[in-house]
A and B are shown apart, each in its own frame.
Chain A
């Protein structure tokens, strides 16, 4: 049986359309008290990249990016200015007993600092 090449073209159109719509790039602008900041997101089915900068008042931190990869089960946070990165598992694993107790201790020291400004 002879199959017309036109069928391949017709059947291929939805596939081409799907590949075009596979990604999303968006920029979000936040404004508060006269100061604006932008975040840019790149999203595909199993991965995401966010680009942003932290801010204290009018002072900005370094250019940052976070990359989440479902296929690797990992998240990477990058300091783009310093050329450095850290990696962690994603979704985050539940904290171990040791980690939980370490966080409780650290929260306790925060409380102490709050109640005793002389420290």
Chain B
């Protein structure tokens, strides 16, 4: 049964199909299950969104990685966070969600997400764009941890703001290329000079 999140006719359908392949493997002492989840975004009448398909090919285990004060979602109920969608000056999309299969709620140890989107070009033509992202757990160790990991190291200063991102004045591709050129010319001359010194 479609879950209408706003009154009126939906303009966008999001269909999520979860398939358990029945494949299993051992992962650091836990049984991992192989699940493929396909999320289709289908524009309906009146929609301005692009068609999208995202396939998540993942392996999951049953491990609780939450801590006691994390906010928990209601069990067995998928929460549709985006009741409607806005982008720039485009009209609001009314979305209907359709779930096929049992949604996977385990902890992902590995996934490969392949996204395909049909992008509308200014001339009206459509171009398909594909992107791939991957995630893998490379270390998984259960055991006691050093309590110092959860404390502020001595000497750290409390401030109002910390820098989280790379510097804003990143060098441009041209300046990187120019620096490389200057460095290679400098190397050339330093080699020439050292050869001359060796000859004399």
> Residues of A with Cβ closer than 8 Å to B?
19-33, 38, 40-49, 54-56, 59-62, 64, 67-70, 73, 76-79, 82-87, 90-91, 114
CB distance from A110 to the nearest CB of B (A): 12
Give the contacts of B146-200 with A (CB-CB under 8 A).
149-153, 155-167, 170
Bound complex: CA A77 to CA B152 (Å): 9
**Do B144 and A20 touch across chains, with their CB atoms under 8 A apart?**
yes
**Do B165 and A24 touch across chains, with their CB atoms under 8 A apart?**
no
**Do A26 and B162 touch across chains, with their CB atoms under 8 A apart?**
no
CB distance from A51 to the nearest CB of B (A): 9
State whether A79 and B141 are in contact (beta carbons under 8 Å apart), knowing that A46-B67, A69-B150 are contacts in the complex. Answer: no
State whether A59 and B144 are in contact (beta carbons under 8 Å apart), knowing that A69-B150, A83-B155 are contacts in the complex. Answer: no
User: Which residue of A20, A29, A42, A62 contacts B163 across the interface (Cβ within 8 Å)?
Assistant: A62
Bound complex: CA A67 to CA B151 (Å): 8
Bound complex: CA A27 to CA B161 (Å): 27
Please indicate the chain A residues that have their CB under 8 angstroms from the CB of B142 in the complex. Answer: 20-21, 23-24
Bound complex: CA A28 to CA B152 (Å): 23
Bound complex: CA A62 to CA B118 (Å): 36
**Do B145 and A25 touch across chains, with their CB atoms under 8 A apart?**
yes
Q: Which of B7-15, B35-43, B73-81, B129-137 contacts A (4 or more CB under 8 A)?
A: B129-137
Majority DSSP secondary structure for residues of A touching B = strand
User: Which residue of B136, B152, B155 contacts A29 across the interface (Cβ within 8 Å)?
Assistant: B136
User: Which residue of B134, B136, B156 contacts A84 across the interface (Cβ within 8 Å)?
Assistant: B156
CB distance from A113 to the nearest CB of B (A): 13
Majority DSSP secondary structure for residues of B touching A = loop
Interface size on B, residues (CB 8 A): 42
**Is B139 interfacial (CB-CB < 8 Å)?**
yes
Bound complex: CA A69 to CA B152 (Å): 11
**Do B138 and A28 touch across chains, with their CB atoms under 8 A apart?**
yes
**Do A68 and B67 touch across chains, with their CB atoms under 8 A apart?**
yes
Please indicate the chain A residues that have their CB under 8 angstroms from the CB of B155 in the complex. Answer: 83
The 8 A CB mask of B10-34 against A (1 = contact, 0 = none) is: 0000000000000000000000000
State whether A47 and B163 are in contact (beta carbons under 8 Å apart), knowing that A24-B142, A83-B157 are contacts in the complex. Answer: no
User: Which residue of B69, B70, B131, B141 contacts A26 across the interface (Cβ within 8 Å)?
Assistant: B141
State whether A78 and B145 are in contact (beta carbons under 8 Å apart), knowing that A26-B140, A49-B150 are contacts in the complex. Answer: no
Bound complex: CA A25 to CA B138 (Å): 11
Bound complex: CA A41 to CA B140 (Å): 10
